[in-house]
Amino acid sequence: MTAFDLTNKVAIITGGGSGIGEQISRVFSDAGADVRIFEFNAEAGESVAAAIRANGGKATSYAGDVSQQADMIRLCNEIAEETGHLDILINNAGIAHIGKLHDTKETDFDRIYDVNIKGVYNAMFAVIHHMMKQKSGVIINMGSIAALVGLPERFAYSTSKGAVELMTYTVARDYLDYNIRCNSIAPARVHTPFVDNYLATNYPGQEKEMFEKLSKTQPIGRMAKPVEIANLARYLCSEEASFITGTNFPIDGGFVKLNT
Is the pLDDT at 35 greater than 70? The verdict is yes
- Report pLDDT for 177: 98
- The Cα diameter of the chain in Å comes to 55
- Report pLDDT for 259: 79
- Report pLDDT for 236: 98
Q: Which tens digits make up the pLDDT trace of 200-252?
A: 998 999 999 999 999 999 999 999 999 999 999 999 999 999 999 999 999 99
Mean pLDDT of 23-49: 98
- Report pLDDT for 1: 61
Mean pLDDT of 124-132: 98
Which residues are catalytic, by number? 157
How much of the chain exceeds pLDDT 90, in percent? 96
- Report pLDDT for 218: 93
Burial class (CB in 10 A: 0-12, 13-18, 19+), 201: exposed
Mean pLDDT of 68-81: 97
Mean pLDDT of 32-58: 98
Mean pLDDT of 139-163: 97
Is the pLDDT at 260 greater than 80? The verdict is no
- Report pLDDT for 2: 82
Is the pLDDT at 99 greater than 80? The verdict is yes
Chain mean pLDDT for the chain: 96
**All domains of the chain in start order, with CATH:** 10-188+225-258 (3.40.50.720), 193-223 (no CATH)
DSSP letter string, the chain: --TT--TT-EEEEETTTSHHHHHHHHHHHHTT-EEEEEESSHHHHHHHHHHHHHTT-EEEEEE--TT-HHHHHHHHHHHHHHHS---EEEE-------B-GGG--HHHHHHHIIIIIHHHHHHHHHHHHHHHHHT-EEEEEE--GGGTS--TTBHHHHHHHHHHHHHHHHHHHHTGGGTEEEEEEEE--B--HHHHHHHHHHSTT-HHHHHHHHHTTSTTSSPBPHHHHHHHHHHHHSGGGTT--S-EEEESTTHHHH--
Q: Which tens digits make up the pLDDT trace of 105-114?
A: 999 999 999 9
Mean pLDDT of 70-77: 96
Q: Which tens digits make up the pLDDT trace of 153-207?
A: 999 999 999 999 999 999 999 999 999 999 999 999 999 988 998 899 989 999 9
- Quick one: which of 24, 237, 217, 35 has its CA closest to 138? 237
CB atoms within 10 A of CB 30: 17
Length of the chain: 260
- Helix axes of 118-134 and 155-174: crossing angle, nearest 10 degrees: 10
CB atoms within 10 A of CB 202: 11
